[in-house]
């Protein structure tokens, strides 16, 4: 079930993404080539698919909100481009391809990330279905997730933590911003667009926090046990940069046990709702067992 849903969602999102970035100004063509290079390389598209699943669980048609779905992926792709830069993680490969700065140079990679991030907010304003108030709320959620109290804050803390062995509680703060913020935003967009009630919002937000944490724990595990063929990038980057991870702090087996505990908490939150959450629950199982 979940494999088919992910494949369907990925196909839908990527068809929409392919229509977005073009310029009528020839002098800007290299910038747009660089943005499309990273945006259209593939990936799981898990964040917009998560919003799709939340909307469907609330009885909404996600196809009415494609601008918001694509905005999530634009922001995520921007973060990957900047993450890979020599001043950050200094990675050579992403999704099985050379990283953006390896192909287009560092300056163009920075500008490509900037372009993707800012266009995400412009894209939201192009939706013709939602009210101005709902659009404003959605943009606010995305901006908060991408900003200094979200992804940027987490990335800054990550940068400052290199070469240090930070305690687990600080690691959770780091990843709540760097990874978890956009997962929470993906769920929150679905709740806003689907006009969920207060009780549903409370349980889905718990689920979102757990899902973001689960993604990061499994990411840390895969950086140790995964292969370059599975991951599409060189494994072992956390160890090379002497970063604290769930594996370095807990050990591999305890990290796996922690992933199971977090997955159970996510599922429990969904059990407390009256909506059809089968796909959302299946996403939890998928993340626990993922290989890339």
State the CATH number of the domain containing residue 141: 1.10.600.10
Residue-wise DSSP of 152-210: HHHHHHHHHHTT----HHHHHHHHIIIIIHHHHHHHHHHHHHTT--HHHHHHHHHHHHH
Half-sphere exposure of residue 291, counting CA atoms within 13 Å on the CB side?
Answer: 4
What residues make up the domain containing 113?
Answer: 1-289
Residue 14: the pLDDT is 98
d(CA 145, CA 151): 6
Q: Which of 190, 146, 194 lies closest to 48 in space, CA to CA?
A: 190
For β-strands 97-98 and 93-94, DSSP reports them as antiparallel
d(CA 44, CA 27): 32
d(CA 222, CA 292): 7
User: Mind spelling out the 3-state secondary structure of 75-143?
Assistant: HHHHHHHHHCCCCCCCCCEECCEECHHHHHCHHHHHHHHHHHHHHHHHHHCCCCCCCHHHHHHHHHHHH
d(CA 222, CA 282): 20
Phi-psi region of 254 (alpha: psi -120 to 50; beta: other; left: phi over 0): alpha
pLDDT digits (tens, 9 = 90+) for 214-248: 999 999 999 888 766 656 656 566 666 677 899 99
Residue 292: the pLDDT is 78
Q: Say what angle helices 181-193 and 66-83 make with each other, to 10 degrees.
A: 170
Domain count, the chain: 1
Return per-residue pLDDT of the chain as tens, 292 residues: 899 999 999 999 999 999 999 999 999 999 999 999 999 999 999 999 999 999 999 999 999 999 999 999 999 999 999 999 999 989 999 988 999 999 999 999 999 999 999 999 999 999 999 999 999 999 999 999 999 999 999 999 999 998 888 999 999 999 999 999 999 999 999 999 999 999 999 999 999 999 999 999 999 999 888 766 656 656 566 666 677 899 999 999 999 999 999 999 999 999 999 999 999 999 999 999 887 7
Q: Where are the beta strands (DSSP E) in the chain?
A: 93-94, 97-98
d(CA 185, CA 179): 11
């Amino acid at each position: 079930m979940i494999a088919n849903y992910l494949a369907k969602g990925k196909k839908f999102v990527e068809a929409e993404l392919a229509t977005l970035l073009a310029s009528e100004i020839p002098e800007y063509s290299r910038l747009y080539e660089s943005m499309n290079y990273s945006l259209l390389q593939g990936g799981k598209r898990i964040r917009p698919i998560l919003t799709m699943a939340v909307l469907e669980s609330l009885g909404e048609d996600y196809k009415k909100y494609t601008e918001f779905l694509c905005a999530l992926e634009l922001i995520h792709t921007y973060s990957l481009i900047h993450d890979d830069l020599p001043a950050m993680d200094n990675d050579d490969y992403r999704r099985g391809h050379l990283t953006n700065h390896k192909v287009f140079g560092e300056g163009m990679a920075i500008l490509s990330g900037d372009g993707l991030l800012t266009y995400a907010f412009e894209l939201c304003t192009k939706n013709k279905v939602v009210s101005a108030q709902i659009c404003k709320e959605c943009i606010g959620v995305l901006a908060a997730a991408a900003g200094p109290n979200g992804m940027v804050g987490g990335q800054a803390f990550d940068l400052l933590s290199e070469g240090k062995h930070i305690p687990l509680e600080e690691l959770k703060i780091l990843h709540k911003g760097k990874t978890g913020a956009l997962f929470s935003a993906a769920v929150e967009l679905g709740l806003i667009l689907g006009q969920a009630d207060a009780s549903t919002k409370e349980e889905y937000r718990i689920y979102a926090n757990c899902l973001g944490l689960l993604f990061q724990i499994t990411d840390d595990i895969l950086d140790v046990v995964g292969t370059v063929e599975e991951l599409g990038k060189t494994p072992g980057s956390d160890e090379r940069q002497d970063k604290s991870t769930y594996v370095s702090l807990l050990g591999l087996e305890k990290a796996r046990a922690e992933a199971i505990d977090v997955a159970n908490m996510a599922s429990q939150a969904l059990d407390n709702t009256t909506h059809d959450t089968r796909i959302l629950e299946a996403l939890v199982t998928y993340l626990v067992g993922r290989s890339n």
